[in-house]
A and B are shown apart, each in its own frame.
Chain A
Amino acid sequence: MQRIVLPTVLPGALPVQQIQLGAIDYSILVVYFAFVLGIGWILRRYVKSSEDFFLSGRSIPTWIAGLAFLSANLGAQEVIGMAASGAKYGMMTSHFYWVGAIPAMVFVGVFMMPFYYGSRARSVPEYLRLRFDEKTRGLNAITFAVMTVFSSGISMYALAKLLELVLGWNFHASVVLSGVIVLAYIFLGGLTSAIYNEVLQFFLIVLGFLPLVLLGLKDVGGWSGLKEKLVPVATGAGYAPGAWSSAWRHLGAASDNPMGVEWFGMAMGLGFVLSFGYWCTDFLVIQRAMAAKSMNAARRTPLIAALPKMLFPALVILPGMIAIALHNSRGGLLPLGADGTPNYNLAVPALLAHYLPSGLLGLGLTALMASFMSGMAGNVTAFNTVWTYDIYQSYIRPGQTDSHYLRMGHVATVVGIGLSVAAAYATSRFNNIMDMLQLVFAFVNAPLFATFLLGMFWRRSTGHGAFFGLLTGTAAAAIHHGLTLPNGAVPGLKGGFLGTVLHTYPSEMAQNFWTAIVAWSACFVATIAISVATRRNKSDEELTGLVYSLTPRVVDHGLAWYKRPATLGAVVLGLTLVLNVVFW
């Protein structure tokens, strides 16, 4: 959930016990780099056209597209950030998966993919041009391009900072090394190479972190032992004993749980607006499904991704919960910050150092680096496509040969990595600027899902409606943020910058969720109102394949049940419901 939770930029240097790596650990790292680069090298001869480079020639096998869909987003923010949230908020963090990601992934697979894939659009902004108009596409393309570069830069910064902190590696060397490797394999093999490596990284992340989780669980005495050890964590912070180990039980009121959110803000803000907004409209993930080899494969891509995704809390949230339980019962696992609170961001590195001996430690660190690199590569491949097709080909040099755009794709990859490096250094210099940019991105992103929902399911929505609806939603987000504050914060980046504070939220999380709800609602209402007031700019014929009521249904009869997206989606939702109930 890359752009939803981005508070992961690590705070300044803290005294951490550094990990010593042995020869075996370095060897594992070197073998991994060799394979990553080797895959790019082998795939380079399949890149003959721009479609090969940007969309993998639409020929990726379904299971690979599905795992890449999952892994492209499995960046630094997920591995480090979700463990940090697990330590800070406990089991409630699972809502990012079981309320947020999974239902949204089912929705995009079953309902939205027919229009993305069926329209033959090459990117999400291009879909917006086909459906609405040029200005809506331009707005989306430009904000998206800027956002991906900064996201990838933040990923790079976080990786380098972490390696500096934990291994004592040189910050500049880490930035250059990670940048060069990602550049090399994308430059050689384009999206295919990024996707193949994402799948490799997916298995590496799972197999690299699993022993950590197993050892941790064994140490705390299994799930029941962990629950017991989390009781003093919860009561010590002034909550009910089960506040850290149950997902829903303490969501009745915002004051009952450490996240400071109540069930409505959680379900609507995180679940409906933010998660659907991310998984259904973000080209970074949609691109993986667009590369699939057929309509059916494209629709199943997010559904196949959802199956392992629903088990990810065990891999990324559980370590955080184990870390805080150990920190609380044995003391001193997590380094303390200046204000005396533990540094939650270091939960995963601290556990790696605590449990893994030389050998497995190398594997765990390689998995950590893999997660950062797949996040970075996801952003760079999305950036070079949107830049080349939606900005360069549309506004700068239209009508060139395909090989011209393929060359541009290579150039855009180099420039994208270069800009990421610049963004990484900007982050290390000016933390405030990055916080501000992330805030602006949040404002821009929050209303997007309303635009897509209306565009795909209401044929009367117009180009003017979409464009000005988006602007209204963004403005509404900024105004809401400017008039509210999380508890205990001073006016500024955290909100309240419009002078008066109308409402104080119990937590930053609650404020973010409600900002999203306000932005979505404003965009939804404004788009409808402006659409009704303006003339339609696309005829029914032009909208065929782009809007639900004007598109022939995809026929799934005669396929095995596991190949029918609707059936698969129902299975996924059923299993998610079971998980919600089990960890209620």
Chain B
Amino acid sequence: MNLDLRLPMGLMFSIFGAMLSVYGFTSGPAIYQRSLGINVNLWWGLVLLGFGLLMLFFAMRARGKEPASPGSP
């Protein structure tokens, strides 16, 4: 198949990660009472961002290896 799934997947999780960590960074501590006082948005956002970027990295590396892959979007 010509679409490398890691590309959209990496992009989606990077966006999720960025959204959550920015939100976690800007939101006050009041909403984190329920999550045991942990700013889960910030931390989990960074985890998602890391996961997304890793996927993108692998997708880019595979692309670099096969420059002749026809019709890649």
| A42-B3, A211-B40 known; A35 vs B12 contact (CB < 8 Å) | yes
Q: Which A-chain residue is minimally distant from B45 (CB atoms)?
A: A359
Q: Which residues of B have CB within 8 Å of A475? A: none
* Cα–Cα distance between A24 and B51 once the two chains are bound (Å): 20
Q: Does A196 contact B (CB under 8 A)?
A: yes
Q: Which B-chain residue is minimally distant from A189 (CB atoms)?
A: B3
Q: Name the 4 nearest CB pairs between A and B, nearest first.
A: A359-B41, A357-B31, A35-B12, A359-B23
Q: Which A-chain residue is minimally distant from B73 (CB atoms)?
A: A42
A30 nearest CB across to chain B (Å)? 11
Q: Does B19 contact A (CB under 8 A)?
A: yes
Q: Does B68 contact A (CB under 8 A)?
A: no
A286 nearest CB across to chain B (Å)? 20
Q: Which residues of B have CB within 8 Å of A39? A: 3, 5, 8
Q: Which residues of A have CB within 8 Å of B3? A: 39, 42-43, 46, 196
| A356-B35, A357-B31, A359-B27 known; A31 vs B12 contact (CB < 8 Å) | yes
| A359-B27, A360-B35 known; A215 vs B40 contact (CB < 8 Å) | yes
B3 nearest CB across to chain A (Å)? 6
Q: Does A207 contact B (CB under 8 A)?
A: yes
Residue pairs across A and B with Cβ atoms less than 8 A apart, 26 shown, are A24-B20, A31-B16, A32-B12, A43-B3, A46-B3, A60-B1, A61-B1, A64-B5, A196-B5, A200-B12, A207-B13, A207-B48, A211-B44, A215-B35, A218-B36, A219-B36, A355-B36, A357-B31, A358-B27, A359-B19, A359-B20, A359-B40, A359-B41, A360-B35, A360-B44, A363-B20
* Cα–Cα distance between A56 and B15 once the two chains are bound (Å): 28
| A27-B19, A200-B5 known; A357 vs B13 contact (CB < 8 Å) | no
Categorize the interface residue count of chain A: 35 or more
B2 nearest CB across to chain A (Å)? 6
Q: Does B65 contact A (CB under 8 A)?
A: no
Q: Contact at A203–B16, with CB atoms within 8 Å?
A: no
* Cα–Cα distance between A354 and B35 once the two chains are bound (Å): 8
Q: Which residues of A have CB within 8 Å of B23? A: 24, 358-359
Q: Contact at A357–B19, with CB atoms within 8 Å?
A: no
* Cα–Cα distance between A32 and B13 once the two chains are bound (Å): 9
Q: Which residues of B have CB within 8 Å of A215? A: 35-36, 38, 40
Q: Does A71 contact B (CB under 8 A)?
A: no
Q: Which DSSP category, helix, strand, loop or mixed, fits chain A's interface? A: helix
Q: How many residues of B contact A (CB 8 A)?
A: 30
Q: Does A199 contact B (CB under 8 A)?
A: yes
Q: Contact at A359–B1, with CB atoms within 8 Å?
A: no
B1 nearest CB across to chain A (Å)? 5
Q: Which residues of A have CB within 8 Å of B8? A: 35, 38-39, 42, 200
Q: Which B-chain residue is minimally distant from A63 (CB atoms)?
A: B5
Which residues of A in the span 54-68 have a Cβ within 8 Å of any Cβ on B?
56-57, 59-61, 64
Which residues of A in the span 183-207 have a Cβ within 8 Å of any Cβ on B?
192, 196, 199-200, 203, 207
A288 nearest CB across to chain B (Å)? 14
* Cα–Cα distance between A548 and B27 once the two chains are bound (Å): 62
* Cα–Cα distance between A404 and B52 once the two chains are bound (Å): 40
Q: Does B34 contact A (CB under 8 A)?
A: yes
A interface residues with partner B (beta carbon < 8 Å):
24, 27-28, 31-32, 35, 38-39, 42-43, 46, 56-57, 59-61, 64, 192, 196, 199-200, 203, 207, 211, 215, 218-219, 354-360, 363
Q: Which residues of A have CB within 8 Å of B36? A: 215, 218-219, 355
Q: Contact at A28–B35, with CB atoms within 8 Å?
A: no
* Cα–Cα distance between A24 and B27 once the two chains are bound (Å): 11
* Cα–Cα distance between A519 and B5 once the two chains are bound (Å): 42
B37 nearest CB across to chain A (Å)? 11
Q: Contact at A59–B9, with CB atoms within 8 Å?
A: no
* Cα–Cα distance between A354 and B23 once the two chains are bound (Å): 19
Q: Which residues of A have CB within 8 Å of B1? A: 43, 46, 56-57, 59-61, 192
Q: Contact at B9–A203, with CB atoms within 8 Å?
A: yes
Q: Contact at B5–A357, with CB atoms within 8 Å?
A: no
Q: Which residues of B have CB within 8 Å of A357? A: 27, 31-32, 34-35, 40-41
Q: Contact at A199–B19, with CB atoms within 8 Å?
A: no
Q: Which residues of A have CB within 8 Å of B34? A: 354-357
B31 nearest CB across to chain A (Å)? 4
Q: Which residues of B have CB within 8 Å of A196? A: 3, 5
Q: Contact at A200–B44, with CB atoms within 8 Å?
A: no
* Cα–Cα distance between A203 and B31 once the two chains are bound (Å): 26
Q: Contact at A24–B12, with CB atoms within 8 Å?
A: no
